[in-house]
Amino acid sequence: MGLTPGNPPRILIVGGGHVGMYTALRLQSRLAAGEASVTVVDPQPQMTYQPFLPEAAAGSIEPRHVVVPLRRLLRRCHIVGGRVIGVEHAHRFATIENYAGNVERLGYDVLVMAPGSIARTLPIPGLAEHGIAFKTIGEAIYLRNHVLSRLEAADNTTDVPLRRKLLSFVVIGGGYAGIEVLGELEDMARYACRYHETIEPKDMRWVLVEATGRIMPEVSPRMGRYTAKRLMGRGIEIFLNTRVTTMENGHVVLDNGTEFDADTIIWTAGVRPNPVLQQTDLPLDDRKRLRCTASLQVVGCPEVFSAGDCAAVPDLTSEDPNATCSPSAQHAVRQAKVLADNVVAHLRGAPLGHYRHRYAGSVASLGLHRGVAEIYGIRLRGMVAWFMHRTYHLSRMPTFNRKVRIVADWTTALLFRREVVALGQINDPKADFIRANAAS
């Protein structure tokens, strides 16, 4: 492996999300003292459990409780706060831009690439200015305050077109992320209406736009149709086989001729592998993912491992020899376990194992007490599915500490009324101070 005699091998993990954090956690428990050093680089000092983001946005869970602080959990790892901007595997180093803005090089003997994915955007006029993605804890916090403050603003205006715009909410993309954020936010806003004298749920307009002919491709078409029916029963408009052509100045135009103003436009139209992969000398497939073997090694580079949203990992359970695992937490967490074990085996010169997992299905929440689930072909709906969603994700949530805090959040919400205060100020915290300075 080209190691320096006497120095323990250096394992560098790029990204501390589902794959990176779980890999580091397992490595720190499996490696003997001094057997290897483990460094994790991530621009965020925490791992975000993304499947709970919709509940965090709806206020059912305190946002801090869906993230896990890396420094606290990975006590035997070295945490570097920064963004990897390139990898030169030929010379075994990664280039990092750290928190302070300095650029430095980090050498390694074994590399784990786990920077995940980013939102897949399209060149739609106005998207960058008026759209918001839904992948980070910051976006979840922003959206909660933004949606509630739209109700607040609408309650305080008699300008009819403005009020209509403030009360129009659009989600673009009908995968589980889009459906869950739509279901949870609509449910929260519907509840919040009772505190606004001039707003009734029917005054709000919630719209889902999906480019393909169905929603929730993660479940069967029948379950997708059921989900659509439930959402439409709540007054949500669903446009299938429809694309947004522009959203300049918040004016949304669909290719079926529909147009309207909206002040909240949420973009959940899929993900693409992190573009940092293109700043490496590692092999990529046609979708710009790292080409991996079933042992989670990058093809042709036995000391580079990868998994999760950024990796093309063969799906050994499929009959199609070219099939790869879908981007999901379900795969990412399981792959991390195999990946960490294979890194240890690689260091010890032992045989490596293969990753094999049959996709179990999906569970999704559509708001409080409402959900859909399809697990190994068994379909569940309503309260049972919602309960399943909560128990499944709670079991997957890292650390006992976070599990307890989340259960406490749910219990508090059961005992007291739902919390719907709009902390819109969070989205512009300096406004008052700027006014104070201007007035002096």
Please report, as ranges, the residues that interact with ligand FAD according to CB under 6 A.
14-20, 41-44, 50-51, 53-54, 83-84, 114-116, 134-135, 176-177, 274, 276, 308-310, 327-330, 332
Shortest CB 89 distance to ligand FAD, Å: 15
Judged by beta carbon, residue 41 or residue 292, the one nearer ligand FAD is 41
Shortest CB 50 distance to ligand FAD, Å: 3
Judged by beta carbon, residue 50 or residue 227, the one nearer ligand FAD is 50
Judged by beta carbon, residue 253 or residue 296, the one nearer ligand FAD is 296
* Residue the block writes with tokens 């954020």: 181
3-state secondary structure (DSSP) of residue 283: coil
Judged by beta carbon, residue 18 or residue 165, the one nearer ligand FAD is 18
- The arrangement of strands across the sheet holding 10-14 comes to 103-107, 93-98, 78-88, 37-42, 10-14, 110-113, 301-306, 297-298
Shortest CB 381 distance to ligand FAD, Å: 17
Judged by beta carbon, residue 84 or residue 366, the one nearer ligand FAD is 84
| Cα separation values, 361 from 88, 198, 312, 355, 386, Å | 38, 42, 20, 18, 14
User: For residue 395, what are its two tokens?
Assistant: 């079991």
Judged by beta carbon, residue 329 or residue 375, the one nearer ligand FAD is 329
Shortest CB 112 distance to ligand FAD, Å: 10
Rounded to the nearest 10°, the torsion over CA 140, 146, 147, 150 is 180
Tell whether the torsion through CA atoms of 292, 295, 299 and 303 is positive or negative: positive
SS3 content of the chain, % helix, strand, coil (to 5): 40, 25, 35
Residue 415, Cβ density class (10 Å: 0-12 exposed, 13-18 middle, ≥19 buried)? exposed
Cβ contact 60:419 at 8 Å: no
Shortest CB 134 distance to ligand FAD, Å: 5
Residue number, nearest CB to ligand FAD: 17
CA separation for the pair 80, 70 (Å, rounded): 10
Shortest CB 194 distance to ligand FAD, Å: 27
